[in-house]
Amino acid sequence: MTDAPRAASTRRFTFSAGHRYWVERWSPEENERFFGRLTVPHGHNYTLDVTVRGPIDPETGMVFDLGELKRIVGETVVDRFDHADLNADALFRGRVPTTENLAIVVWELLAPKLGADRLAQVRVWEDPTLYVDYRGPDG
């Protein structure tokens, strides 16, 4: 089994969420000076690409059951963030919901469920012109 060829599989998810950039310990003026229009509550149609990596199971021919991946990411990430206010989520208490932090939060939600050794990369697209990749604290 350890000699089985390895591969990576990626599945795409979408969710829409609201957010704004705001540092609680700053005054409104400081926030507006630093973040500008990003302080105004707005939203995005996010796209999430989750990549899992591992040996190709000789029996199933799969690295990971993508139906299972769909269920786990759906329950853990999409159900939580779709049509939600990211700033109101406990995971973003004291953490500005930038695309960078969202990618890290999604990794932290998924790594325990998928196994940090199986989860290879989280890619969060804020819109078609901007995405962030996170490959874990060691990546």
Partner 1 sequence: MVELTRVYHFSAGHRLENPALSDRANAALYGPCHRPHGHNYYLEVTVAGVPDQLTGMSVDLGQIDGAVTERVLSRVDHQTLEEVPELAGVVTTGEGLARAFWRLLAPAVPAGALRRVTVVETAKNRFQYEGEAS
Residues at the site binding partner 1, with contacts judged by CB under 8 A: 21, 23, 34-35, 95-101, 103-104, 128-134, 139
d(CA 60, CA 62): 5
**Rounded to whole angstroms, how far apart are CA atoms 116 and 54?**
11
20 or 69, CB closer to partner 1?
A: 20
Q: Which lies closer to partner 1 via its Cβ, residue 62 or residue 116?
A: 116
Of 137, 131, 135, 136, the C-alpha closest to 100 is 131
Task: Give the shortest CB-14-to-partner 1 separation in angstroms.
Answer: 17
Where do runs of H (alpha helix) occur along the chain? 28-35, 66-73, 79-81, 99-114
Closer residue to partner 1 (CB): 70 or 95? 95
Q: How far is the CB of 7 from partner 1 (least distance, A)?
A: 20
CB 33, min distance to partner 1, A: 12
